């Protein structure tokens, strides 16, 4: 069939018609348009039968278009953009930063895919803020409606449909139908409309555990206020009860956060020791460096302020004074100055103090007075040798914690404007970690007869927290990590009702949260586990006292008694759990210290009048 000649504007706005209806003149003009792209500064690869509108502003660093993919009129495309086959970027669409599309992705007009973000720290004008990019990943067979906004760091799974005008701020699993601002998952695309759905929007495909009740109250004796919205349908334990409906859970989280904020000063007061001018974890315990740091974190989370017993400059002065100038390490109160280990921090309190004191100072607007010399002098050879000697086989948590401390010290050294370590050491760390990750588990270390996957999973959290997460790098084998972690949650030695503690729950939810930034693998299972844990966690709050850490198999740790450590950890855990479920916004707080979800700020960004 022969088509009459069309105005060029038709193909600019309807590029899918070009292959079958364009004239020879129009095909020649498109060939010249593509040649100009190839001649530009960016790396450009175009598949068969691609079309790029003449009026589109396409100025990429990288542009890879799969076969039969199009960029229509007035689109604005910059950064690193990669698409599969049969993708359409429709008129007036903005695609910027790092964006990856699978096959068959249709992006509606006036939509923005923004795979970068600006900082918002108060110490720099907005136009001088550093730019970060975690990127946007969109799977195969996805339809994104008009006027949608997708922000940096989001992954949208295969076969999703995003309604017009949505603002997508959280990951969406495969087959999601989502809409709204912020976008929420409405149902599974494979479900018929009106099908009964289980928590999180999935069709109810499993039977309720015997004896569970949609109106189960909060666990008795947990100290949860008996207020409307806190009990209905939320209190079943993680051991098999029915999870909360999303709206009810969101209401419970909001009420919890409001109550916690009102009681924050009381729980900080109970740990302040006026006679020593120091903080203890709880009444009757000795003051510790960690307790002071936990108090700073809790005050920042709940009060958006500093603990009220000292001014911010006084907090900073006391914490900075704890650092040993010779090593850059921080001993416990009354302990002698620590000696560095073979390649950096030794075991014990001073290794963790690299984290907690550094983040507390950061929240207070301060920093360490000295570099962490014990890490700054580490050579690449020495580091690699020590990594190989760590007890990965039977004490993977210990090994992962050491990596966390070393990498965090390197970060503080960089933030101070100096060298992280000897030349090549930081690169050697990530090189060693990449080459020694087990492709079957995604982790470092092995299960043990005594504790199953506990050491391996808990060590994974500590290791990746200080290294990959802190430096904003993708983790290797994220799907295998998710498999390993979800298998670990079925171990009754650690996750039977009443056996969960803050460490074990944190060390599961953070890897699930972190890996979900890269893949939607088993997302429904992760959300179901997070929902059940949220329902259990809220019931552990003690009015005016906070959270207890929880029981441990060997009796170590602060135990069930409420204190600063348990409170600081559970507040962060609740945020991570809620973020995986998609309801974290109702909490009104977001971790900014040791458990912050974002990568650490880049050191000393160079000023720039214009950012991408």
Cβ atoms < 10 Å from Cβ of 127: 11
> Rounded to 5 degrees, what angle do the CA atoms 197, 201, 203 make?
40
DSSP per residue, 352-405: HHHHHHHHHHHHTT---SS--HHHHT--HHHHHHHHHHS-TTT-HHHHHHHHHH
The pTM of this model reads 0.63
State whether residue 97 is helix, strand or coil: strand
Q: Which of 260, 268, 289, 468 is nearest to 361 (CA)?
A: 289
Which residues, 6 or more positions from 207, have their beta carbon under 8 angstroms from its beta carbon? none
The span from the CA of 131 to the CA of 112, in Å, is: 17
Calculated CA dihedral for residues 243, 245, 248, 252, nearest 10 degrees: 30
Calculated CA dihedral for residues 586, 590, 591, 596, nearest 10 degrees: 110
At 526-576, the pLDDT tens digits run 999 999 999 889 989 999 999 999 876 555 556 679 999 999 999 999 999
The span from the CA of 353 to the CA of 330, in Å, is: 6
Residues 168 and 182: beta-carbon distance below 8 Å: yes
SS (H, E, C) 25-83: HHHHHHHHHHHHHHHCCCEEEECCCCEECCCCEEEEEEEEECCCCEECCCCEEEEEEEC
Pairing mode of beta strands 184-188, 272-273: unpaired
Dihedral-angle region of residue 17 (phi above 0 means left; psi in -120 to 50 means alpha; beta otherwise): alpha
Given this model, what pLDDT does residue 95 score?
96
The tokens describing 492, both together, are 């009754």
Q: What are phi and psi of 144, to 5 degrees?
A: -110, 120
Given this model, what pLDDT does residue 197 score?
44
Calculated CA dihedral for residues 536, 542, 547, 549, nearest 10 degrees: -80
DSSP 10: H
The tokens describing 335, both together, are 């302990």
The tokens describing 599, both together, are 């990568």
Calculated CA dihedral for residues 154, 155, 160, 164, nearest 10 degrees: 20
Q: Which domains does the chain have, with CATH numbers?
A: 8-195 (2.160.10.10)
Q: Which position has the token pair 């390649």?
A: 343
Enumerate the H helices of 156-288 as residue ranges: 246-269
Given this model, what pLDDT does residue 159 score?
93
The span from the CA of 510 to the CA of 353, in Å, is: 21
The span from the CA of 531 to the CA of 543, in Å, is: 23
The span from the CA of 307 to the CA of 297, in Å, is: 9
> How far, CA to CA in Å, does 590 sit from each of 300, 346, 415?
9, 31, 22
The span from the CA of 580 to the CA of 506, in Å, is: 13
The tokens describing 311, both together, are 């001014």
Given this model, what pLDDT does residue 156 score?
94
Q: Which position has the token pair 């919890």?
A: 256
Given this model, what pLDDT does residue 199 score?
39
Low-confidence ranges of the chain (pLDDT < 70): 1-6, 192-246, 552-559, 602-612
DSSP 17: G
Enumerate the H helices of 224-311 as residue ranges: 246-269, 289-298
């Amino acid at each position: 069939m022969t088509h009459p000649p069309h105005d060029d504007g038709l193909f600019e706005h309807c590029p899918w018609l070009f292959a079958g209806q364009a004239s020879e003149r129009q095909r020649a003009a498109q060939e010249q348009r593509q040649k100009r792209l190839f001649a530009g500064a960016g790396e450009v690869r175009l598949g068969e039968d691609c079309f790029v509108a003449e009026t589109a502003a396409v100025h990429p660093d990288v542009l890879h278009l799969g076969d039969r993919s199009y960029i229509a009129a007035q689109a604005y495309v910059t950064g690193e953009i990669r698409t599969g086959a049969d993708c359409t970027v429709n008129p007036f669409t903005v695609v910027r930063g790092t964006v990856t599309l699978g096959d068959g992705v249709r992006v509606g007009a006036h939509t923005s895919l923004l795979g970068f973000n600006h900082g918002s720290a108060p110490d720099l004008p907005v136009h001088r803020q550093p730019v970060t990019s975690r990127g946007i990943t969109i799977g195969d067979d996805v339809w994104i409606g008009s006027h949608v906004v997708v922000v940096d760091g989001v992954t949208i799974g295969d076969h999703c449909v995003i309604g017009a005008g949505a603002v997508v701020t959280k990951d969406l699993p495969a087959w999601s139908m989502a809409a709204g601002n912020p976008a929420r998952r409405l149902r599974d695309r494979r479900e018929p409309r009106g099908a009964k759905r289980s928590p999180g929007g999935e069709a109810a495909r499993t039977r309720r555990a015997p004896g569970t009740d949609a109106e189960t109250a909060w666990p008795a004796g947990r100290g949860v206020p008996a207020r409307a919205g806190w009990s209905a349908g939320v209190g079943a334990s993680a051991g098999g009860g029915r999870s909360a409906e999303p709206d009810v859970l969101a209401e419970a989280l909001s009420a919890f956060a409001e109550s916690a904020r009102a009681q924050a000063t009381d729980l900080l007061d109970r740990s302040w020791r006026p006679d020593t001018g120091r903080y203890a974890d709880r009444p009757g315990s000795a003051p510790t460096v960690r307790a002071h740091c936990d108090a700073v974190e809790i005050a920042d989370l709940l009060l958006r302020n500093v603990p009220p017993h000292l001014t911010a400059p006084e907090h900073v002065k006391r914490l900075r004074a704890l650092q040993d100038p010779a090593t850059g390490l921080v001993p416990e109160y009354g302990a002698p100055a620590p000696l560095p280990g073979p390649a950096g921090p030794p075991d014990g309190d001073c290794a963790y103090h690299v984290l907690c004191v550094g983040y507390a100072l950061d929240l207070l607007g301060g920093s360490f007075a000295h570099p962490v010399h014990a890490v700054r002098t580490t050579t690449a050879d020495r580091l690699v040798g020590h990594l190989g000697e760590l007890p990965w086989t039977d004490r993977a948590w210990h090994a992962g914690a050491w990596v966390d401390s070393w990498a965090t010290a390197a970060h503080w050294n960089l933030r101070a404007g100096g060298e992280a370590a000897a030349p090549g050491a930081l690169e050697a760390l990530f090189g060693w970690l990449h080459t020694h990750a087990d492709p079957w588990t995604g982790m470092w270390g092995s299960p043990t007869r005594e504790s199953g996957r506990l050491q391996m999973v808990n060590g994974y959290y500590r290791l990746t927290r200080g290294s990959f997460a802190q430096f904003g790098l993708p983790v290797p084998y994220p799907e295998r990590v998710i498999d390993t972690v979800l298998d670990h949650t079925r171990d009754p030695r650690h996750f039977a009702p009443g056996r969960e503690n803050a460490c074990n729950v944190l060390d599961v939810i953070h890897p699930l949260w972190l890996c979900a930034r890269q893949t939607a693998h088993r997302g429904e299972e992760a959300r179901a586990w997070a929902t059940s844990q949220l329902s259990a966690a809220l019931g552990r709050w003690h009015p005016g006292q906070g959270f207890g850490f929880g029981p441990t198999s060997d009796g170590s740790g602060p135990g069930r008694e409420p204190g600063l450590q348990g409170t600081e950890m559970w507040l962060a855990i609740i945020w991570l759990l809620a973020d995986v479920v998609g309801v974290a916004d109702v909490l009104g707080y977001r971790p900014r210290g040791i458990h912050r979800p974002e990568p650490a700020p880049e050191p000393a960004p160079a000023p720039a009048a214009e950012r991408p």
